[in-house]
Structure 1
């Protein structure tokens, strides 16, 4: 196989990677057969997965547009994966042309891909850090510089917190991040919900237990609690398609089938 120019030297193309699998669900081109095979196995258990992932990406787009329209032009995207197919910087710059973004991921493969893709984007930086170690994450030069400016920051935790187990104390991690944010900052969060599709939740979590990134699906009440210290904007924590949809009539009668919860809040 000819190695594309966005693939770092030494990357094992025969081993699936979670960030590239997500890209495949979105209909992107930054994936390989090993990634597609893993995705197909997951879809055998849960055929709606591509629709859920695309609904999550659509929420990211709408939330970034909302924050940019509110005047935010600095974004910290934690658990960003590979910034392809409508990434934060492209969405934000449609409204704030000078928007700055720091993409953070703990996966060295995703980080290496991202650095190659964003090599010609001077206002985009990439940091390798783990959400479960907030102190180390905040000390990374790219992150520290973004926060040091004192301007409001859009903290993006999109489809990442469900990869943090209860043993890692997600509320404590969120509190540390919240305390590091400048005044006027906002939190964008989406999370796999346990209530929307209880018939699928168990098998989906079992699938991820066999990977390096086990999944913890949580209740709406628990996800809403993650916004402690933030003032939720309307409509609060809702299913993915229900958060400020482009076409309210297109949400459909069963938004819970997307099995993901989403919300946005500003520092209170």
Structure 2
């Protein structure tokens, strides 16, 4: 049985769940299908803290964007941006500075279609439908070249997406290609799932996601640190999402180890 809705892009495979639509469901969005919701419920059984993890990751994205704005960055490349939801990067950045520019990148059909719709009347934000593991396709896309100035600092955002990049795709080279394309003084905001914090739950998640189009590959803190080659990792380092410069200056919530995800920000030398 398939779902018929007026927002579904033509030709989309409704039978195969995607990570973007699963994340949308966990955040309370409505752009997901029955198979995505079924996968998400299995994900919640494997990791009961999944909704909180998603919320903390989204909050980290917001804080990192505002940090970059405060440090002079006015343009952003958001890789694996996902389905539009409250607190998109262009909303955060352009509220702080209406001249801020944002290029979103996602290969998922629903994420692309809805981003294009939302951004149709925004000349300072756009979406590229591309695979982030092919940096050349992203960096040379007309939308990217037309909106971003690579001689000036750029905020490179990889929030909650790199755990979908398989080791055989050479993760370090992927990030290095993006790093080499951006100017000194640019920033990388990065977060991804790890086995370091909740190993049993992470192992169950990996099994669940094998049935989706986006299997998962958790990484340890040392492995994530290696991905920051060429960037100076800023304080407080690679930490659970809730502990990366929380708004209050102190973290007073649940055990931060239950965040399930490490996060960090680096500045290109």
TM-score w.r.t. length of structure 2: 0.92
- Local SS of the residue matching 2:96: coil
Aligned counterparts, 1:67-86, within 5 A: 67-86=68-87
Give yes or no for the alignment of 1:156 onto 2:157.
yes
Match of 2:109 in 1: 108
Match of 2:243 in 1: 242
- Local SS of the residue matching 1:202: helix
Match of 1:63 in 2: 64
Moved more, 128-137 or 209-218: 128-137
CA shift at 1:9, angstroms?
4.3
Structure 2 stretches of 5 or more lacking a match?
none
8 Å contact kept, 1:93–1:99: yes
Q: 1:226 to 1:110 in 2, by over 3 A?
A: same
Q: 1:32 to 1:108 in 2, by over 3 A?
A: closer
Match of 1:165 in 2: 166
- Local SS of the residue matching 1:236: coil
Match of 2:124 in 1: 123
CA shift at 1:41, angstroms?
1.8
Q: 1:116 to 1:253 in 2, by over 3 A?
A: closer
Match of 1:265 in 2: 266
Match of 1:91 in 2: 92
Moved more, 41-50 or 21-30: 21-30
Give yes or no for the alignment of 1:42 onto 2:65.
no
Q: Which has the higher contact order (CA 8 A, sep 6+)?
A: 2
Q: 1:135 to 1:63 in 2, by over 3 A?
A: same
Aligned counterparts, 1:227-238, within 5 A: 227-238=228-239
CA shift at 1:11, angstroms?
4.4
- Local SS of the residue matching 2:60: helix
8 Å contact kept, 1:28–1:85: no
CA shift at 1:12, angstroms?
5.4
Distance in structure 2 (CA, Å) of the matches to 1:97 and 1:122: 11
Number of residue pairs aligned between Structure 1 and Structure 2: 267
Match of 1:180 in 2: 181
- Local SS of the residue matching 2:30: coil
Q: 1:113 to 1:14 in 2, by over 3 A?
A: farther
Moved more, 14-23 or 182-191: 14-23
Alpha-carbon displacement from aligned partner over 1:138-182 (angstroms, at most 9, x marks no partner)? 111112234445221100011111111111110111111100002
8 Å contact kept, 1:60–1:158: yes
Distance in structure 1 (CA, Å) of the matches to 2:251 and 2:130: 38
- Local SS of the residue matching 1:77: strand
Structure 1 stretches of 5 or more lacking a match?
none
TM-score w.r.t. length of structure 1: 0.92
- Local SS of the residue matching 2:245: coil
Q: 1:190 to 1:172 in 2, by over 3 A?
A: same
Distance in structure 1 (CA, Å) of the matches to 2:133 and 2:249: 36
CA shift at 1:251, angstroms?
3.8
- Local SS of the residue matching 1:94: helix
CA shift at 1:227, angstroms?
0.9
CA shift at 1:120, angstroms?
2.0
Q: What CA RMSD, in Å, does the superposition of the two structures yield over aligned residues?
A: 1.9
CA shift at 1:50, angstroms?
0.7
